[in-house]
Amino acid sequence: MKKLKRSGRLVDMTYYLLQHPHEVISLTHFSERYQSAKSSISEDLVIIKEIFEDEGYGTLLTISGASGGVKFIPRIDYAQAEVFMRELIDQLAVPERILPGGYLYMMDLLGSPRFIQQVGQVFASVLANKRIDAVMTVATKGIPLAYAVAQYLDVPVSIVRRDHLVTEGSMVSINYVSGSSKRIQTMTLARRSLAPNSRVFIVDDFMKAGGTIRGMMDLLDEFQAELVGIGVLVESVGVEERLVDEYMSITRLSEVNVKERKITVEPGNVLDLLKTITLEEEK
Amino acid sequence: MKKLKRSGRLVDMTYYLLQHPHEVISLTHFSERYQSAKSSISEDLVIIKEIFEDEGYGTLLTISGASGGVKFIPRIDYAQAEVFMRELIDQLAVPERILPGGYLYMMDLLGSPRFIQQVGQVFASVLANKRIDAVMTVATKGIPLAYAVAQYLDVPVSIVRRDHLVTEGSMVSINYVSGSSKRIQTMTLARRSLAPNSRVFIVDDFMKAGGTIRGMMDLLDEFQAELVGIGVLVESVGVEERLVDEYMSITRLSEVNVKERKITVEPGNVLDLLKTITLEEEK
């Protein structure tokens, strides 16, 4: 790369940091990349950090020591998350979403990469100071959410399936009880698809009684993996017996009145969690 | 937003452009955002455009006229795409991937958001000057690829399913013949999930005879939608009768020798296509 002035460096460094979230990048890397003194690079990083923090894009952490450098932690701030959630609640409450049986049509939202990215950013912000090795979800609708979170955390995705595919090698299967229908079902994960002892965040689009998520938690045991957190886009309230205790939700669906065509949606607990997050200490 | 100097503007504009690919952003927008003269904004954009083009991140198009402004087209350049493809071929050729029946384990690649993003960038680069309204894929493995392409193109994703889900409202179903097994199967797409007359790019992880993709093409007819292109991560060569004529592939799998544990992978046609793309004219 040719020698760059500050203006060019700022553009390139911003691009580079956004492409490499949660990765420690040494000052030497930037210094060699731009043929510039480390002192200039440090000044550049101060400018970038200030804009990122002022605008709520995230922060730059300085990692000291021999393997030190700078690390971009993408984070959406509370104010932005609140705006996003208010808009989402308005969008979810549109009566045209109501399907027979009281289900809600959500594929317009789940099919929008920009929407999905925002949800991923909210979850990743709450998880910013946790060590996470993988994001797990179950096919199909959780998949885009899982990739969005995983992209911001820079970790791989493990996709649990309800069928058994021949093209993934040896699989681990468990039986679980679907919380709402009480039926026994099977879910499988390819043996190679999750490293043993991984620290895992589970994500899904919708949670009612939590049977599917409970199933994924049981699968984690089979992989000697550890649960770090659970996130759902929409939780359905008014469930008699919830199979999952701790989780974060973006929104809470409290009522779908098919007859009066009325949907009642409230904010989930994720905003409160976002308030309590500090980045002072890295685990 | 507070008034920013050039250094701060460059960081913020780079961030903003990356979050809004393929969207026309007026100079007025930036000028008001930073309380800066349009002439200064134009100079900023020249700096950003130069870095983006020199480093192969994409380009900034200037759109003239009343609704004019600037538009970021993410593009990976030929050299970067070639490096990416060489590395991918090396990774695919590892004998440990071979599964019983001559299948290849690919979830380590498909489960990596960073890898998926790169594939999405390659496809989006070839499609950079085409008008596309939606990206279509079939569950499960094509989903992350579809979102990656769609994110770079800033369009929604339509997910075709092999089962019939009750939570998506009215569905359109078609029967198709799986090219390799010759069995008749069903695929469905929610009626609301693709707007009529959409211009669609179809993407999938793997293509053998092309029956699944042929099925998606038939589904497009049911939605009065138009096919703009087809992209696959891996095509299997040596197929007797291919059901799809025109497509782009990242890699070509020419042989999986289970006995000798040898995998032969070649570059697909996407590199050649990337060479011929110019951005001079916008459709």
The secondary structure of residue B25, as a DSSP letter, is: B
Taking an 8 Å cut-off on Cβ atoms, the answer to whether B161 and A140 are in contact is: yes
Taking an 8 Å cut-off on Cβ atoms, the answer to whether A105 and B168 are in contact is: yes
User: Which residues, other chains included, contact B223 with Cβ-Cβ below 8 Å and sequence gap of 6+?
Assistant: B172, B189, B194, B195, B196, B198
In chain A, the residue whose alpha carbon lies closest to the alpha carbon of B150 is A113
Question: Are residues B61 and B73 in contact, defined by beta-carbon separation less than 8 angstroms?
Answer: yes
Query: What is the rounded CA–CA span in Å between residue A144 and residue B144?
Result: 6
Query: What is the rounded CA–CA span in Å between residue A265 and residue B213?
Result: 38
Question: Are residues A139 and B139 in contact, defined by beta-carbon separation less than 8 angstroms?
Answer: yes
When pLDDT is cut at 50, 70 and 90, the band that residue B280 belongs to is: low
Distances in whole angstroms, Cα of residue A271 to Cα of each of A122, A133, A258? 9, 24, 29
Predicted confidence (pLDDT) at residue B279 exceeds the cutoff of 60: no
Question: Are residues A254 and A238 in contact, defined by beta-carbon separation less than 8 angstroms?
Answer: yes
Rounded to a whole number, what is the distance in Å from the CA of A234 to chain B's nearest CA? 14
Strands A171-177 and A184-190: antiparallel
Of the candidates B18, B104, B157, which has its C-beta nearest A113's C-beta?
Answer: B157
* B1 occurs within a structural domain: no
User: How wide is the angle at C-alpha A154 spanned by C-alphas A151 and A156, nearest 5°?
Assistant: 85
Query: What is the rounded CA–CA span in Å between residue A118 and residue A56?
Result: 13
Residue B150, chain A, CB below 8 Å: the answer is yes
Q: Looking at residue B281, what is its pLDDT?
A: 44
Residues in chain B within 8 Å Cβ distance of A60: none
> Last residue of some domain: B74, B109, B132?
B74
- Are A39 and A125 found together in one domain? no
* A217 occurs within a structural domain: yes
Residue B190, chain A, CB below 8 Å: the answer is yes
Question: Are residues A169 and A190 in contact, defined by beta-carbon separation less than 8 angstroms?
Answer: yes
* B117 occurs within a structural domain: yes
**Residue A16, CB-side half-sphere exposure with 13 Å CA sphere:** 22
- Are B233 and B105 found together in one domain? yes
Helices and strands of chain B, counted as H and E runs: 9, 10
Residue A154, chain B, CB below 8 Å: the answer is yes
- Are A221 and A259 found together in one domain? yes
- Are B67 and B111 found together in one domain? no
The secondary structure of residue B55, as a DSSP letter, is: H
Mean pLDDT, residues B22-40 taken together: 95
By C-alpha distance, which of A71, A59, A60, A58 is closest to A26?
A71
Domain count, chain A: 2
Query: Strand pairing partners for A24?
Result: none
Cα of A96 vs its chain's centroid, Å:
28
* A10 occurs within a structural domain: yes
Q: Which of A167, A180, A191 to mutate to test the interface with B (most CBs of B within 10 A)?
A: A167
- Are B85 and B65 found together in one domain? no
- Are A182 and A60 found together in one domain? no
Per-residue pLDDT reduced to its tens digit, B51-81: 999 999 999 999 988 878 999 999 998 999 9
Residue A144, chain B, CB below 8 Å: the answer is yes
For A120-129, B72-81, B136-145, B174-183, which range has the lowest pLDDT when averaged over its residues? B174-183
Mean pLDDT, residues B168-195 taken together: 89
Using only C-alpha atoms, chain A has a radius of gyration, in whole angstroms, of: 21
Rounded to a whole number, what is the distance in Å from the CA of B282 to chain A's nearest CA? 23
Structure-token pair, residue B225: 């939608």
**Encoded amino acid at A32, one letter:** E
Q: What 3-state class would DSSP assign to B24?
A: coil
User: Which residues, other chains included, contact A229 with Cβ-Cβ below 8 Å and sequence gap of 6+?
Assistant: A126, A127, A130, A201, A202, A246, A247, A248
Q: Which of A6, A137, A151 to mutate to test the interface with B (most CBs of B within 10 A)?
A: A151
Taking an 8 Å cut-off on Cβ atoms, the answer to whether A105 and B192 are in contact is: yes
- Are B242 and B121 found together in one domain? yes
Taking an 8 Å cut-off on Cβ atoms, the answer to whether B140 and A147 are in contact is: no
Mean pLDDT, residues B110-116 taken together: 97
Q: Where are the alpha helices (DSSP H) in B24-77?
A: 27-34, 38-55
Q: Which helix (H) or strand (E) holds A235?
A: strand A226-236
Taking an 8 Å cut-off on Cβ atoms, the answer to whether A47 and B8 are in contact is: yes
* A174 occurs within a structural domain: yes
- Cβ neighbours of B283 (radius 10 Å): 7
By C-alpha distance, which of A102, A85, A73 is closest to A249?
A85
> Last residue of some domain: B43, B59, B74?
B74
Q: Looking at residue A280, what is its pLDDT?
A: 52
- Are B97 and B220 found together in one domain? yes
Structure-token pair, residue A74: 């993408």
Q: Looking at residue B241, what is its pLDDT?
A: 81
- Are A124 and A239 found together in one domain? yes
Q: Where are the alpha helices (DSSP H) in B231-282?
A: 270-276
- Are A27 and A128 found together in one domain? no
Of the candidates B10, B57, B161, which has its C-beta nearest A7's C-beta?
Answer: B10
Residues in chain A within 8 Å Cβ distance of B123: none
Rounded to a whole number, what is the distance in Å from the CA of B74 to chain A's nearest CA? 12
Taking an 8 Å cut-off on Cβ atoms, the answer to whether A101 and B166 are in contact is: yes
Per-residue pLDDT reduced to its tens digit, B85-105: 999 999 999 999 999 888 899
Residue B114, chain A, CB below 8 Å: the answer is yes
By C-alpha distance, which of B232, B122, B126, B109 is closest to B179?
B232
Rounded to a whole number, what is the distance in Å from the CA of B241 to chain A's nearest CA? 22
* A1 occurs within a structural domain: no
**Encoded amino acid at A27, one letter:** L
Q: Print pLDDT tens along chain A (283 aa).
A: 788 999 999 999 999 999 999 999 999 999 999 999 999 999 999 999 999 999 999 999 999 888 789 999 999 989 999 999 999 999 999 999 999 888 899 999 999 999 999 999 999 999 998 999 999 999 999 999 999 999 999 999 999 998 777 778 899 999 998 866 788 999 999 999 999 999 999 999 999 999 999 999 999 999 999 999 999 999 998 887 888 989 999 999 999 999 999 999 999 999 999 988 765 544 4
Handedness of CA A90, A95, A98, A102 (dihedral sign): positive
Of the candidates B107, B140, B192, which has its C-beta nearest A143's C-beta?
Answer: B140
Q: Looking at residue B278, what is its pLDDT?
A: 66
Query: Strand pairing partners for B74?
Result: B58
Mean pLDDT, residues B139-149 taken together: 96
Question: Are residues A189 and A200 in contact, defined by beta-carbon separation less than 8 angstroms?
Answer: no
- Are B145 and B228 found together in one domain? yes
Domain of B174: which CATH number?
3.40.50.2020
- Are B30 and B103 found together in one domain? no
Cα of B187 vs its chain's centroid, Å:
22
Domain of B33: which CATH number?
1.10.10.10
* A195 occurs within a structural domain: yes
Cis bond before residue A140 (omega within 30° of 0): yes
> Last residue of some domain: B17, B50, B74?
B74
Buried/exposed code over A257-274 (b: 16+ C-beta within 10 A; e: otherwise) = eeeeeebebebbebbebb
Provide the chain B residues 80-109 that lie in CB contact (below 8 A) with chain A. 99-101, 103-105, 107-108
Taking an 8 Å cut-off on Cβ atoms, the answer to whether A15 and B18 are in contact is: yes
Query: What is the rounded CA–CA span in Å between residue A36 and residue A268?
Result: 47
Mean pLDDT, residues B217-227 taken together: 97
Q: Looking at residue B151, what is its pLDDT?
A: 96
* A164 occurs within a structural domain: yes
Q: What 3-state class would DSSP assign to A129?
A: coil
Query: B102 lies in which domain range?
Result: 78-282
